Structure 1
Amino acid sequence: MTDQQVRWTAEQVLALAPDASSRRAGAKLGGAGPWSETGNSASGAVWGSCRGSGATPYRTVVDLTGPAYKCSCPSRKFPCKHALGLLLLWAAEGFGEPAGAPEWADAWLAGRAARTARPAAGPADAEAARRRAERRAARIGAGVAELEQRLADLVRGGLAGQEQAGYAPWEETAARMVDAQAPGLAARVRELGTIPGCGAGWPARMLEEGALLHLLNRGWLGVAGLPEPLAATVRSRVGLPNAGVEGEAVRDRWLVLSQYDSVSPDGRLTTRRTWLRGLESGRPALVLDFGPPGRPPSLALPVGLAVEAEARFRPGSAGLRADLGERFAPAAPCDRVPAGIDTGAALEAYGAALREDPWLESWPVVLGPVVPIPGELGWQLADAEGSGALPVPLSGAGSRPPSGLWQLAALSGGGPLTVFGECGHRGFTPLTAWQPGCPEPVALG
């Protein structure tokens, strides 16, 4: 069996489902009964026809290098239940030796390959682009000056009245930042407005977040005098793309460490965060994808797969944010558990990253071997090898930790684990775990 024919597990297929109902419907189609004309290609595609309620079977094809899906059914979900069922059947039984795709599948695969290979559009007129950038920078500068006045009024008037004032004044300020074309500032203002009344200690947290916002404002006003890496970070945090700046391109086999979705407060945007780690370089990468209302993000890479691809890192993102470029082989299961570090090294890594980006919420870390233990202030992860490093607290781990933490404790059973998660000022958020000697990951939560 070649690398391009390595089959996925059923768990990895079901992780692609956009919701629970799709998982159930796809599982029902995971047997050979309704399928005909199934096959696979050496380039990483599978296809088949699924018998439905109509006279004509649904034609389904999946490009595993994406993965990407095409089905003749009317479903608006991606992947649909037929694509999930086809992948489950392929994962369980395989489709024999690679063969040429039928005409209907080959047409879609050829069109997708052509779109992927299409050269990018030529650069816009340089002078016009420069004038647009100057106009936007001026609008952002005006917005920053207004926001600085708002923060000064907050400090001058004190925090005592913020609970009574409510969220509306901050939403109005955020709208002004949107008008100033500074979406990064708008997001931070909205977050600041949600802090009052959120529980004990909110005034201290509001002062901390307000200070970080003030630091970002001052960074923008003095961006011309900053070192370029820090200037790129400030532009990125404000919400201004680092146009014209080429990021570093790294080709590697990227292991999918975690993938999870979050929904914006207004419910209008779904953000999918995919954490990767280069198996050769050891470099972490964060790939973001977005889905409009009613549709999940298109990028779906199950945890535990490895994909050989070029990742292009964006300037000003603490060396984390990347876009996946050309892929050189379909994603395939990885038989390697990522190497972990102790808790002390994890905290040092987060501290070093903060020096480069003071607004960084968290840093991706693989801890191991560690053991989850209860403590006086909540659950913690302690080094299992007695290195002397202090345990790290688990975020949200009070007397009643969320289900993901109980899942972590059950997996451990008092023994060591390798755990991937986000290490930040609120503690460590575990996302994926590996048991000793078992390369198959368990997504937590």
Structure 2
Amino acid sequence: MLSVEQAGQIDPWLGQSVDCVCGKSHSVSIRKVVIDSGALAALPVYAQERGYGELLLVVDKNTLEAAGRELLELCEAAQLKVSLCVLTADEHGELAADERVIVQLMLNVTSAVQAIVAVGSGTIHDVVRFVSHKMDRAFFSVPTAPSVDGFASVGAPLIIGGFKQTIPACAPEAIFADLALLAKSPKALIAAGFGDMLGKYTSLADWQLGQVLFGEPYCELAAHMTRQGLAMCVDNIDEIAAGSELGMRKLMEGLTLSGISMLLVGHSRPASGGEHHLSHFWEMRFLQQQRRALLHGAKVGVAAVQMARLYEAAAAMSKEAVASAIAERQARGDVLTPGRMREKIQAGYGSIADQVLAENGLTVLDAIDSAEQQELPQRLVERWEAVRTVCGNVPSSEQLAAALRRVAGPTTVAELGVEPELLQDSMEYAMYVRNRYTIIRLHQWL
């Protein structure tokens, strides 16, 4: 019987189902995870064992050289039929998980292909995950850099019509993470993976806020698994900064545990909160302005520092101060009614506002629950000590920034390349990227 004590391990959960104390049954569809030096060689062996005789390797021009050619040779030596799909960048030199790239991959999936292999980092995995699910093919993961926690997850964050949304898809059947390959990753990609993990401090706290204030379903097993993965990374920060194989092992294990935690609950709540909403907002605004994309994990790390500042401010407020702040807002009419939310979304999102309105249940003015306008203020005051405890457990913004500096990652929006005006916009509008309660929404009352 699996238990929370095993949440820091990967192998016991593979291919398993568990009746959880949260009241739900969880299952992990991933069958095999190899995190080791020389892991590439294990892929053709596994494919043969599973009876997959024809594979499609999906790469871009960089991952083709990093691992694609070697994997192609290994598969051919094992007498497997294998072909390559080299995803091409757009006119701006960008490779985004959008309609253009999705169609490009779909056109390369012949009827004979039995398994599609993502050879790359976040974008390639998101596209392969979606296409594998839609075309009913097995999905293998070969990370070429430990840059994101999405390798093991089930959701595919895609850009559809300029809006970043997560589409339910499938987890990989197997993951092959070669430590010798990962140790050669650019330092910026390693720092990005660490930044993605550091964001779990605020995403987990956001999830707890939803549970405390709205009774949102919360799974301690998934939360503990995410915390264990985060601890692996923080405890081995020097090895990660050095890019050693031990550091890559711990970072990759942490990223994988985070992905499995999302698999358990069927959504990204354990690993994605307000810090991801800022990241997605920045990404969408960059797309609208036709600017070069920023690394996902780098954005998440910087955004987590911003969220930690909000948590610090909330933790410093007494129950009396919160009651006073809420009363003052109500007296001057400075509360978010459905009408004002619609106006903000239309102002902040422009051409993609309709999609954001739909995400927030605002396609019809009266569609939104009125609890936030009528019940939440009193609930905030009554439950403030529990809220304050959640806030106080988040490390300080300076602690998070110091950790990012140790891995040579950006810590400020200026270092990242996000202007103060965009930061200001994101603090006002990014909370609408997902219809989830976060520290940003809490601060609308403080």
TM-score over 0.5 for the pair = no
**TM-score, scaled relative to structure 2:** 0.25
Larger radius of gyration: 1
Greater share of residues in strand: 1
Query: Which protein, 1 or 2, shows the higher relative CO under an 8 Å CA cutoff with sep ≥ 6?
Result: 2
Greater share of residues in helix: 2
